[in-house]
Amino acid sequence: MQAYNTQQPDIILPEYGRNIQALVNYCKTIPDRKRRNACARAIVGIMGDLYPDLAQVSGRKNILWDHLSVIAGHELDIDYPCEVMKPEELASKPEPLPNMQSNVRIRMYGKRMEALVAHALTIEDAQERLRLFELIANQMKRNFHNTYKDASEENRKILQDLLFYAGDAYRDEIMNIRLLDVKALGVNNQYDPASLVVTPSKKKKKKK
């Protein structure tokens, strides 16, 4: 039986949604450091697709990596491309995020989503691969409904898009994925950026 959101652990940064939290938790379990680094980069890319301002505004590129570290509880052992805030440098709440919608289209969920699928295809264990496919599919659905708020659920379309990324060899796995409903995904159509406050990092930016 599907658990209600109130029965699940709190999301550390709610504006990114429960699936980003689940992806970060999954990333922490990857034993191989190279694969763990690749997975983390893909997740940060998805976070940047959701909030392009944070990825594009000069001087603020570190914030996505700061947020990744916060979501992971500062327990994600990866090669960060920049210095991230330490727990003692954080205020009680994160910095406000811009109130803007993702421009993700039905046929394009962002390059990072495709990269995450590519990572899933490297996983030999079928159960682990299916678990990641399910997380990816539900994140695709969340992106879809954050963009098209009044659309009816298009589960089959989303699974077809995932199958397009993964290839027909994974049809049986993907087409049997059960997607969560919109409420369970925590789609936030009335997100108030003032509800989230973060202290910006004081670390120096790395030169390109």
d(CA 132, CA 152): 25
User: At 149, which amino acid appears?
Assistant: K
- For residue 79, the SS3 value is coil
pLDDT tens per residue, range 27-52: 999 999 999 999 999 999 888 888 77
Q: Sorting pLDDT into bands at 50, 70 and 90, what band is 196? A: very low
Domain spans, the chain:
14-99+193-208, 101-183
- pTM for the structure as a whole: 0.51
Q: Sorting pLDDT into bands at 50, 70 and 90, what band is 71? A: very high
Question: DSSP of 23-47, one letter per residue?
Answer: HHHHHHH---HHHHHHHHHHHHHHH
The pLDDT value recorded for residue 93 is 54
Strand-pairing partners, residue 203, are none
d(CA 55, CA 63): 8
Q: With contact defined as beta carbons under 8 Å apart, do 90 and 199 qualify?
A: yes
